[in-house]
């Protein structure tokens, strides 16, 4: 899938013109009926390797077992003082929030925090870029997740014009060194990229727009973002090139199926922390079709 161009109907209702390999299609997010070409193409989009979602019974049983292990992990952290910092990144509607919730559902909120920062204040804009994130880092025994992070400067900011090219270039140069300090300080550091296909993103945007419970998640920036798929892809690839490292690798998860994505992400965390009583047999092995390390996992 190539360029996506925004159009309008009567100057107000947002349309998207999607250029596929065969023809240009029009998507009206305001229309309550989801087009068949999106409904049918969502799950396999972006090279997703399965033609069906993981069935609910398997998902719920597996998730519960992994969440029990997470509770054991947190008890070990509180006793040992180990610190965990996990970044959740991905395109809009990739499933970051739901995956964070599944990870934190049964953890003690006193020592398991999620950080989702608003746009920087005037004071924060005048500080060192990483400063406002550092203040939220974990202390002894804490598990901290970031729903988006300093990688805003590698994605939404340059794509939407919220930073200068010089600020973007400076970030790409500094991020690896900044993260080396995190790891050298003894923090267990995870960087997750939840990857989705374009049709799946359009489907999830449509679901949000027409849900009374989730419509607050759909914003004008989502409409603008639908027109910038290729720009976001270019920014993502450049980010991987400069910030994937041995000490702080990008862990990429194919997330068209939220159930598989949540299981694989939690499983990865559990398998990479040396907590007491870890049950490797119960945790299980990673699905190499869903999760992998670095841009090569996406064929880049």
**Residue-by-residue pLDDT tens, the chain, 300 positions:** 444 444 444 344 556 766 554 567 788 888 999 999 999 999 999 999 999 999 999 999 999 999 999 999 999 999 999 999 999 999 999 999 999 999 999 999 999 999 999 999 999 999 999 999 999 999 999 999 999 999 999 999 999 999 999 999 999 999 999 999 999 999 999 999 999 999 999 999 999 989 888 888 887 778 777 889 999 999 999 999 999 999 999 999 999 999 999 999 999 999 999 999 999 999 999 999 999 999 999 998
Residues 6 or more apart from 177 whose CB is under 8 A from it? none
Q: Could you list the residue range(s) of the whole structural domain that residue 242 is in?
A: 54-298
Is residue 260 included in any domain, yes or no? yes
100: in domain = yes
- Other beta carbons less than 10 A from residue 280's beta carbon: 10
CA distance linking residue 103 with residue 261, whole number of Å: 11
Most distant CA atoms of the chain, gap in Å: 62
Residues in the chain: 300
- Indicate which CATH number applies to the domain containing 255: 3.40.50.300
- Residue 232 domain-assigned (yes or no): yes
Q: What is the pLDDT of residue 296?
A: 96
Paired tokens of 149: 């992070």
The predicted structure's pLDDT at residue 19: 58
Let me know if residue 170 belongs to a domain.
yes
pLDDT of residue 268: 98
pLDDT of residue 18: 67
Q: What is the pTM of this model?
A: 0.93
Sequence-separated (6 or more) residues with CB below 8 Å from residue 64: none
- CB-based contacts of 78, cutoff 8 Å, min separation 6: 108, 111, 141
Q: Is residue 27 part of a domain?
A: no
What are the structure tokens assigned to 189, written together?
A: 């550091």
In Å, what is the CA distance from 74 to each residue of 3, 44, 77, 134, 287?
45, 36, 5, 22, 24
What residue spans of the chain are helical by DSSP H?
36-41, 56-80, 96-104, 122-125, 131-134, 156-160, 165-184, 198-209, 220-226, 229-243, 258-271, 280-283
The answer to whether position 132 is within a domain reads: yes
Q: Dihedral, CA atoms, 212, 220, 34, 54, nearest 10 degrees?
A: -70
Please report the pLDDT score of residue 23 as a whole number: 64
**31-40 residues labelled b (16+ CB within 10 A) or e (exposed):** eeebbeebee
Q: Please check whether residue 227 lies inside any domain of the structure.
A: yes
In a domain, residue 126? The reply is: yes
Domain count, the chain: 1
Q: Which two tokens stand for residue 65?
A: 């077992």
């Amino acid at each position: 899938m190539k360029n996506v161009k925004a159009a309008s109907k009567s100057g107000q209702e947002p349309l998207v013109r999607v250029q596929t390999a065969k023809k240009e299609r029009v998507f009206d997010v305001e229309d309550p009926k989801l087009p068949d070409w999106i409904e049918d193409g969502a799950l396999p989009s972006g090279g997703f390797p399965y033609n069906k979602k993981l069935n609910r019974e398997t998902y719920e049983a597996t998730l519960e077992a992994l969440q029990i292990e997470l509770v054991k992990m947190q008890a070990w952290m509180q006793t040992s003082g180990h610190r965990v910092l996990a970044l959740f990144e991905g395109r809009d509607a990739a499933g970051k929030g739901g995956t964070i919730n599944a990870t934190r559902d049964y953890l003690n909120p006193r020592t398991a925090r999620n950080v989702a920062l608003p746009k920087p204040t005037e004071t924060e804009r005048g500080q060192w870029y990483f400063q406002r994130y550092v203040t939220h880092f974990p202390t002894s025994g804490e598990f901290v997740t970031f729903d988006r992070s300093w990688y805003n400067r590698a994605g939404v900011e340059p794509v939407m014009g919220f930073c200068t090219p010089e600020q973007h270039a400076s970030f790409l140069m500094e991020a690896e060194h900044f993260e080396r300090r995190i790891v050298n300080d003894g923090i267990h550091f995870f960087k997750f990229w939840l990857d989705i296909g374009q049709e799946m993103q359009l489907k999830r945007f449509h679901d949000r727009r027409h849900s009374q419970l989730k419509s607050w998640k759909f914003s004008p920036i989502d409409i603008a973002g639908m027109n910038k798929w290729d720009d976001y892809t270019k920014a993502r690839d450049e980010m991987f090139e400069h910030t994937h490292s041995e000490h702080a690798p990008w862990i990429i998860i194919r997330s068209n199926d939220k159930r598989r994505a949540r299981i694989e992400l939690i499983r990865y965390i559990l398998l990479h922390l040396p907590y007491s009583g870890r049950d490797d047999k119960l945790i299980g092995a990673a699905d190499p079709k869903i999760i992998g390390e670095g841009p090569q996992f996406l064929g880049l």
